[in-house]
Structure 1
Amino acid sequence: MTAGVLSIDDERRIRLINSSAMALLRPGDAPVGKLLSEVAPELDAVLGGETREDIVQLTSGGEARTLAVKITRDEAGQVLTFDDITQQLLDQRRAAWSDVARRIAHEIKNPLTPIQLAAERLQRRYGKKIESDDGTFAKLTDTIVRQVGDLRRMVDEFSSFARMPKPIFREESVIDIARQTLFLHEVAKPEIRFKLEAPAMLPPLVCDRRQLGQALTNLVKNAVEAVEAVETREEGEQGEIEMTIRSAADAQLLVEISDNGIGLPAERERIVEPYMTTRARGTGLGLAIVKKIVEEHFGTMAFADRPGGGTVVTLCFDTKTLERLAGTGGRKRMSRG
């Protein structure tokens, strides 16, 4: 059974637990004979009431999970049956946010162009006629144009998230994509040390070059912001961002981006959700877009603390699966093959 099943007696001691429940709860040693409150206090808390179904959030193995729990009674106690609906809820949220993003992009984009054109025309027509020693008119119109530009970039992010095209898979040099990503940031941020570690001879990766480049750019941009958020450093210490590309077992390709920035937030399991951001001016779509791109490439993304402080983001791609997609537009064509 894929569902977790757990039987308890009248004292709420565990009598029976199946392998799926062990995998979901990760209690360590076999918990038979232990009190349910010691193994899974979140499940124990739903007992004793009138409810026979509930949604429970718990943390097992450092990972937050949402379980749909059903409670039935037998002659010797109670039986709890539960399914992990974490990914199902995330998929539902992502679909809902995609619709919200599409609507926001449409509603905001329409008035942006006339606002920008009006401000620029004011600058051209009256900029030299208005007498102002402090340049207030020019500053205000420049502010309008600049803020419209910021809004337009935000709208582009909304559109990217809501209407991301299906990837076009071709053989590409992932090292070249990584070099271009780091070069753009090296030029803009010379005070940060960027480093690329990769084997000299790495086979090409079947991917959508533009989308993978966008994903790496978003991750490096996040790393730059995390490095810049560190208020004080020891003398001689420099902000560092390193990208490592390496092959792993079972035809896996790993891309790791590490930084010595401020580290992961407390709600780390939610940082890939749309509109979840810890930054004052962030849209919260950067990592959501990365996750979407990685999933379209049949990959996974994981976050970890960097030893000594900072964050490590690891992307894992199955090169054998991607090889079968070469020259196609993604999942739909693969499923026909």
Structure 2
Amino acid sequence: LDQRRAAWSDVARRIAHEIKNPLTPIQLAAERLQRRFGTRIKDDVDVFENLTKTIVRQVGDLRNIVDEFSSFARMPKPVFRQENLDDILKQALFMQDVAWPSMAFNFISDDQPILLVCDRRQLGQALTNIIKNAAEAIEQKAEASADFQVSDGEIELAVRTENQIVVIELTDNGIGLPIERDRIVEPYMTTRATGTGLGLAIVKKIVEEHFGEMKFSDAPNGGTRVTIRLSPSQLARLSHGTEENQTDLLTGPAGNDEQMAEIDK
């Protein structure tokens, strides 16, 4: 698995490099055309403006794709500290609530906030990717069905403690899991025309580095349910010492396989 991940990272790094090089001159050329010839063209002014704006916009989209490739290729080792998990989840949910105001977003948690040793930035990134996928699945369903609107979309994020394990569940009423559901976390596997296939691969990597497991299942309402299970007791070992000590724990004898076996008990 480590060899495959290293190979995928190398591919991502190479692709990002090759795509990034021509982007700046393309964008500068389009912007210069706008400035220099925008006021001189008498015929088809709207066409010229739309075409140059399309070039600039598409370059921006390509930059976002490159950033995602680079993120996958150069993900830093997590730095673990005790955090308020509820705050991390609420922030990730809030960002998507702002981006998709017509959808209904709900957060459910225990009465007491859950404290968890984790890398706040990376875990937040993982949750953001999953919630964003849920919102896009709702959008896909709305595009495919005349009886379903984006405003009918519902996303529920729940967190609870179950037998000393923290369980995070995200449920949506979107288009549901693809036929290739067993491969959706593989790098470059995507069902969307504009997707890179790296979002869930990054999420899987983050969850694994938190000694956790992630599963996908069909939601009762026909959408998707994503379940992440984390062991606070295992993660607590990483709350002390330097970043180097944390790396030793991540890669030492008590590594992922033994930690996952402990979670599965």
In the superposition, the TM-score normalised over structure 2's length comes to 0.87
How many percent identity over aligned positions?
62
Match of 1:323 among 222, 230, 236: 236
Check the 8 A contact 1:243/1:257 in 2, yes or no. yes
Higher mean C-alpha deviation, range 288-297 or range 194-203: 194-203
1:241 aligns with 2:161: no
SS in 2 for 1:255: strand
Aligned partner of 2:131 in structure 1 is 220
Greater strand fraction, Structure 1 or Structure 2:
1
1:152 aligns with 2:32: no
- Map residues 107-256 of structure 1 onto 2, 5 A cutoff: 107-230=18-141, 231-233=145-147, 238-249=152-163, 251-256=164-169
- Map residues 72-87 of structure 1 onto 2, 5 A cutoff: none
SS in 1 for 2:152: coil
Deviation at 1:123, TM superposition (A): 1.6
Residue identity in the other structure for 1:332: T
Higher mean C-alpha deviation, range 214-223 or range 224-233: 224-233
Residue identity in the other structure for 2:238: L
SS in 2 for 1:257: strand
* C-alpha distance after superposition, 1:274-305 (max 9, x if no partner): 01111111111110010011111111101111
1:97, 1:219 → 2: CA distance?
A: 21
By relative contact order (CA 8 Å, sep 6+), the higher-ranking structure is 2
The structure having more radius of gyration, on CA atoms, is 1
Greater helix fraction, Structure 1 or Structure 2:
2
Q: Which runs of 5+ in 2 are unaligned?
A: 255-265
* C-alpha distance after superposition, 1:92-136 (max 9, x if no partner): 433321111111011111111121122222222222222235422
Aligned residues: 247
Q: CA RMSD in A?
A: 2.1
Aligned partner of 2:225 in structure 1 is 312
Check the 8 A contact 1:296/1:331 in 2, yes or no. no
Deviation at 1:331, TM superposition (A): 5.0
2:55, 2:132 → 1: CA distance?
A: 26
1:282 aligns with 2:195: yes
Change (3 A) 1:255 1:227: same
Runs of 4+ in 1 over 4 A off after TM superposition: none
Change (3 A) 1:336 1:275: closer
Check the 8 A contact 2:13/2:70 in 1, yes or no. yes
- Map residues 44-55 of structure 1 onto 2, 5 A cutoff: none
Residue identity in the other structure for 2:237: R
SS in 2 for 1:229: helix
2:205, 2:54 → 1: CA distance?
A: 34
* C-alpha distance after superposition, 1:134-155 (max 9, x if no partner): 4222111111111111111111
